[in-house]
Amino acid sequence: MKKLIAATTLGSLMMAAGLAQAADYQIDKRGQHASVNFKISHLGYSWIYGRFNDFDGTFSWDADKPEASSINVTVNTDSVDTNHAERDKHIRSDDFLNVEENGTATFASTGIEVTGDSSAKVTGNLTLNGVTKPVVLDANFIGEGEDPWGGYRAGFDATTTLKLADFGIDYNLGPASETVELIITVEGVRQ
């Protein structure tokens, strides 16, 4: 009987340890469970909001060791959508995203620094408009747990501000529009 109890206890401990290890997640972009949005000043008078409708990615998450986590995202830049067809056409042109030559933007994390109970700075390489630069995302852990369909999910949001000229975008929109804020939300399904 003691051997059975010991084996059961050891098995339970091993299973719990396995659940605490890093797991890989596929970003769930269906049904607005994830989004890549942006906002930029319009002449200093208002904000233009937009999004990219087509993107994909994965992340690895370990709640016990968040600094060992990672994320990789690919965005189809042709999918830019500001709810204004002529503006979107201009954003796709070589004045901005040059989607004919640079049809994708990518982000690959290189490090994570935990800054609070549910916050971190995620450093990584962003490739946009054919230019790769290091950027830092201010990220927040939203939550994790089982979903109603038998899966397991984890979610985060993050923001960063980019200087357009750093990515070879020098079209003059005026001094109030030299930067763009990215607002990213991801919910992933554990694989």
Domain at 139, CATH number: 2.40.128.110
Q: Please indicate, yes or no, if residue 75 is contained in any of the structural domains.
A: yes
- Residues 92 and 77 sit within 8 Å (Cβ to Cβ): yes
With cut-offs at 50, 70 and 90, classify the pLDDT of residue 169.
very high
Tell me if 173 is assigned to some domain.
Answer: yes
DSSP one-letter code for 31: G
Taking residues 153-165, what's their average pLDDT? 98
Digit-coded pLDDT (tens) for 120-143: 999 999 999 999 999 999 999 999
Q: Let me know if residue 70 belongs to a domain.
A: yes
pLDDT exceeds cutoff 50 at 9: no
Report pTM: 0.86
Instruction: List the domain range (segments joined by +) for residue 64.
Output: 22-190
6-10, 159-163, 181-185: range with lowest mean pLDDT = 6-10
Taking only the tens place, the pLDDT of each residue in 10-66 is 333 333 444 457 899 999 988 789 999 999 999 999 999 999 999 999 999 999 999
**Residue 123 phi/psi, 5° resolution?**
-95, 140
Tell me if 16 is assigned to some domain.
no
Count structural domains, the chain: 1
**Is residue 15 in a domain?**
no
- Classify residue 1: in a domain, yes or no: no
11 in any annotated domain: no
The residues facing 135 across adjacent strands are 124
Pull the structure tokens for residue 159: 């923001």
**pLDDT attached to residue 1:** 42
